[in-house]
Amino acid sequence: MKILDGIYEEMKTSNLKTGMHFNDIFEKLNLENESSIVNNVYTGIHFDHRFVMVGNNKWSLREFFTFEEVDNLQASNMHQSEIVE
């Protein structure tokens, strides 16, 4: 998906280890905020192994983190989703 490649390049250029909120990604790349596009991009970013959720719907690049850091982020995100449910 070319949009995901654009998101990847933007994040790599920005060097944002702290992450970028999903809504800010759309704003930064001037993407249309149609529900079908949002759904496709959200699903794509979720399954694309270049990206990692760093909390509260904020995403960053997996390459910015060590394996252990990614593991801790994923465990933390799982714990947060259990609390919400």
16-30 tens-digit pLDDT: 788 999 989 888 888
Closest to 55 measured CA to CA, from 9, 21, 7: 21
Q: Would you say residue 82 has pLDDT above 60? A: no
Q: Summarize pLDDT for 12-66 with one digit per residue, the tens.
A: 998 878 899 998 988 888 877 778 888 999 999 999 999 999 988 999 999 999 9
Q: Given the structure tokens 């694309």, which residue do they identify?
A: 48
Residue 79 clears pLDDT 70, i.e. is over it:
no
- Average pLDDT over all residues of the chain: 86
